[in-house]
């Protein structure tokens, strides 16, 4: 994608719902994204319990928590989060973890 198209992104979602170590390792990518697109509003979706860590980062508009193990059926969570993400009306979504349910949720959100 050309950089000119990325410049128009106003609302960005960055997803990292793993444990603390994996989340910390992706912080440089999150900071680089904010530096490259300072006009963008970035929302971060993290595992429950990591919200306070991400809220301390300057320039992050919102932090959403992803509850682990709330339902045994991954596809049910994907449908639910697809609807939530669709309401967020994000211009771009970065999924930085291997959870199939979140990949599907982004696809189901239809806007992203």
Residue 112 has what pLDDT?
42
Average pLDDT, the chain: 87
Question: In sequence order, what are the residues at sequence separation of 6 or more whose Cβ sits closer than 8 angstroms to the Cβ of residue 46?
Answer: 16, 17, 23, 53, 54, 63, 64, 65, 66
Matching residue, tokens 């170590």: 21
Residue 54 has what pLDDT?
95
Q: What is the CATH number of the domain that holds 91?
A: 3.40.50.2000
Please name the helix (run of DSSP H) or strand (run of DSSP E) that holds residue 75, with its range, or none. Answer: helix 74-88
Q: For residue 74, give its domain range.
A: 3-108
Q: Determine the average pLDDT of the residues in 79-92.
A: 91
What's this model's pTM, rounded to 2 decimal places? 0.86
Angle CA(97)–CA(30)–CA(20) in degrees, nearest 5? 55
More confident residue, 31 or 99: 31
Domain count, the chain: 1
Cα distances (Å, whole numbers) of residue 57 to 5, 27, 29, 88, 97? 26, 9, 13, 21, 20
Round to whole Å and give the CA distance between 104 and 81: 9
């Amino acid at each position: 994608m050309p950089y000119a198209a990325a410049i128009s992104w106003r609302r960005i979602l960055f997803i990292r719902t793993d444990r603390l170590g994996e989340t910390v390792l992706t912080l440089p990518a999150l900071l680089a994204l904010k530096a490259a697109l300072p006009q963008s509003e970035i929302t971060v979706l993290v595992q429950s319990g990591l919200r306070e860590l991400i809220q301390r980062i300057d320039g992050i508009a919102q932090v959403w928590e992803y509850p682990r193990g709330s339902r045994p059926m991954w596809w049910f969570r994907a449908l639910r989060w697809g609807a939530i993400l669709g309401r967020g009306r994000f211009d771009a979504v970065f999924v930085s973890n291997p959870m199939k349910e979140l990949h599907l949720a982004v696809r189901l959100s239809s806007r992203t």
